[in-house]
Amino acid sequence: MDTFQDDFDWSFKAKHPFKVIVVGAGIAGLAVALGLKKAGHEVVILERVHQIAEVGAGIQVAPNAARILGRLGLLSEVMEKANVLDKNSLRRYANNEELGTAPLMPQLTGTSSRVVRAVDDFEAKVQLESGEWVSGDVVIAADGIKSDLRHQVASHHGVTDTCQPTGDAAYRIMISKDQMKGDQRALDLLNHNVGMRWMGPGGHIMGYPIKNNTVYNMVLLHPQKPGDPNEESWTNKGDKKEMLSFYRNWDDLVRSLLSYVKDDDVMEWTLNSHFPLPSWVENKCVLMGDACHPMLPYVAQGAAQAIEDAGVLTCALSLTNSVPKALAVYESVRKERAERIQNSATVTRKALHLPDGEEQRKRDEAIRGSTQGSGKNPDLWADSSWQDFKWGTDVMKDTVDNWDNLVARSHGYHVHAVQAIGY
């Protein structure tokens, strides 16, 4: 990534500096806050937790995210601690056979302030759990998959904001280099920047090195157990014995890796789908990131799509003195694209978890063929045409270069969306 090139100059200053309230200090919230601050806006970040700590699994910085992080001045710092995966290796679960490979990084040019609600008419004013109100010119809800403001926007449109179980759950484990001592196969995985994607009946595993090749990160997809609550949390404890039982017929390399995990170091969470909202924008309040398009992990675009949101919001709010106009353009640029990528995860999930049989054999042949340049890869993460769509689109440049057309189009888009939901 040292060769990252960018001929797009976005170093403009805001036409009209706004006071922006950002709800949530995760990847989405911090990215948009930094972009807006650089453009000259006044930014207030509200976060519910007392301390920002490591939560979740490894984050994959796809090229579409790297492009924007470079413009925010963050890419070099991120890459100092990152592992740049050379490729993704698609493998059979039972014998570790490599079916094909796919490139992953082509060269492309403490506050304790939980926001509980917005004011009823969605002016740029939010109420904290303490009862205090905070006002500005625009509110950006980057408060994640459990967003309180998402619920309020959905309710305003007569939509019940519920999650739909996918039937999958995921274990998250991290194995240190010390735990691998004496196991040369495991150490080889740790020392090579290759993503390993093992596909098997009912589940798959994604593994790759993190923290400068000192820790091996694994996310293990498997069927959700009957009766398990559909709680969306990264911090629930998993059961190592249950994990070993599900993967007992997988290749011995996989089983060897899992054996190194301490009993208390297995985390588990359920994977749920969220139906698209009628709108991400209500007056001067706007949703971004997981608050409006939570991504399942099958195509590794959760963080990237949140960063794309940040890039477009930075541009849109800096090119006009009208908050409604900026938010309408943002939704026009981002909603269809993000939801299309969101939906691609469901398609990919089915391809990854096929039981052994004729359909699985056809999938494997398609993967082999796509690696040789023939046909579509059923694993959309590895499909070259889908990679072009995900990674090759420059949402910031598109927003700036097509601003006038987007303003005109977004007006029609907004009217159509409002009429479609009965307003």
Structural Rg of the chain based on CA atoms: 22
CA distances from 415 to 168, 282, 418 (A): 37, 13, 5
b or e along 49-61 (b: 16 or more beta carbons within 10 Å of the residue's beta carbon)?
Answer: eeeeeeebbbbbb
Cα atoms in the 13 Å half-sphere on the side-chain side of 292 = 31
- Is 172 one of the annotated active-site residues of the chain? yes
* Close Cβ partners of 57 (under 8 Å, ≥ 6 residues apart): 172, 217, 219, 234, 297
* Residue of 71, 172, 334, 349 marked catalytic: 172
Give kind and range of the element (H or E) at residue 388: helix 384-392
Which residues partner with 208 through β-bridges? 217
List the catalytic residues.
172
